[in-house]
A and B are shown apart, each in its own frame.
Chain A
Amino acid sequence: MNCLEFRRAAMLAPRRLDTEALGHAERCPACGVFLGEALGLEAQIENSLDIPVPHGLQERMVRNALDAPRISRRQALVAGLALAATAGGAGLLWQRDDPLALAGIDFVVFEEAQAILDAKPADPASLRRAALQTGIVLPAQLGELRYIGTCPFAGATAHHVVLKTAFGKATLLLLPGRPLGTRLIASARGLHAAIAPASGGSVAIIADSSRGIARIESILKSG
């Protein structure tokens, strides 16, 4: 192996040099230095790429994946619709894991990514109109708007908002024209959801923590 061959090998895969290459670096001072630099760079690359994995993410994602085939989108929507009819009529239904709120969680787990992928360019003006119609405002302190769009949810068109908040990622589904008598909640798949009544409809909030949801609700109300 000559110097050029050695350096090619070191630039290609410095952690996988064979004994011949390592022997060359031992005998050839210039290539020895080159190898030292190459390994130094490699350590820098490895350090840089080694970002922390969010705590609990793996467990949540595995659970989501393993649970996925059990509930189809259709079943989730049907559950949502059935409850909406009941809740709209009675206006008083409350239970720990409300089906419409669960449908919100399923939306985030199964539909949201695809909705974002399929999205056409968003129109911020239509979001403002929908917020106005629903009877809420979306103040800047909610966090960064990462995505806005519309999507089918529980038999109606929801205005879909993805936020980056101080408490992590949150999804809002604005449901103008869908009044609600009481707040609905659910938690499943490592996510929490609340559907809060508003003057002109309701808004579903789906986030990692119920604390995050409470904070968002208080901001929506204070706005």
Chain B
Amino acid sequence: MAGRKAGFDRAVESYFGGLYRYAYWLCRNRWQAEDIVQDSLLRAWRAWPALREERALKSWLFTIVHREYLRAAARVPRTESDAGAEEAGYDPDPGGALDMEQALQELADDSREALLLQVLGGFTCVEIAQVLGASEGAVMTRLTRARQALRRKLGAAGGATGTVREPRTA
């Protein structure tokens, strides 16, 4: 039992930041994110496997968070997000970070989810596909669309990413 607890503790220690941030950027609300992560950890601990391969453990935890988010989103209308709210210890960089937040929010949900898993979780397309229950090809499309949209939006706003050049050769 102590070994299981220690294993759980270690896994959470390794991935907590990513799991919390993933939940936050899915719902964009700190309270909901906390509820989602807490429910996910309760679920994870109840189903905690005796042995699990490290890599699989990580995508398993992210999958639980994703499902908890879907459960929450299906039943509760989206509450007001924290964007722009004063949060102790949370000072987004005023130069650009807010533009980026806005641009992220405007992405299609499935594109944003794939991008969050790639950036926050460090997952491959195959792993993202497993978490989201999509095909690898669909994930590749979503990631490409997400970055194209961000470049377009931030480029148009005169951001640091500047002009997007089309490739010269086909």
Number of interface residues of B (CB under 8 A): 62
Q: Which residues of A lie under 8 Å from residue B170 when comparing CB positions? A: 4
B97 touches A47 (CB 8 A): yes
- Produce 1/0 per residue, A31-57, CB < 8 A to B: 101100110111011111111111101
- State whether B143 touches A47 (Cβ < 8 A): no
CA of A89 to CA of B89, assembled, Å = 46
B20 an interface residue at 8 Å Cβ cutoff? yes
User: Smallest distance from the beta carbon of B152 to chain A beta carbons, Å?
Assistant: 11
Which residues of B have CB within 8 Å of A58?
Answer: 12-13, 16, 20
Q: Interface residues, chain B, CB within 8 Å of chain A?
A: 5, 8-9, 12-13, 16-17, 20-21, 24-25, 30-31, 34-35, 37-39, 41-42, 44-46, 71-72, 75-76, 79, 89-90, 92-93, 96-97, 100-101, 104, 115-116, 118-120, 124-125, 140, 143-144, 147-148, 150-151, 154, 159-162, 164-165, 167-170
The main secondary structure of chain A at its interface with chain B is helix
A-B contacts, 24 of them at CB < 8 A, read A8-B144, A12-B140, A13-B125, A31-B167, A37-B151, A41-B161, A44-B96, A44-B159, A44-B160, A44-B161, A48-B97, A49-B25, A50-B21, A54-B34, A61-B16, A61-B41, A62-B9, A64-B41, A65-B38, A65-B45, A66-B5, A113-B38, A116-B76, A117-B75
Segment 106-148 of A: residues with Cβ below 8 Å from B: 109, 112-113, 116-119, 146-147
Q: How far is the CA of A20 from the CA of B12 in the complex (A)?
A: 36
Query: With A49-B120, A117-B76, A146-B79 as given contacts, are A68 and B161 in contact (CB-CB < 8 Å)?
Result: no
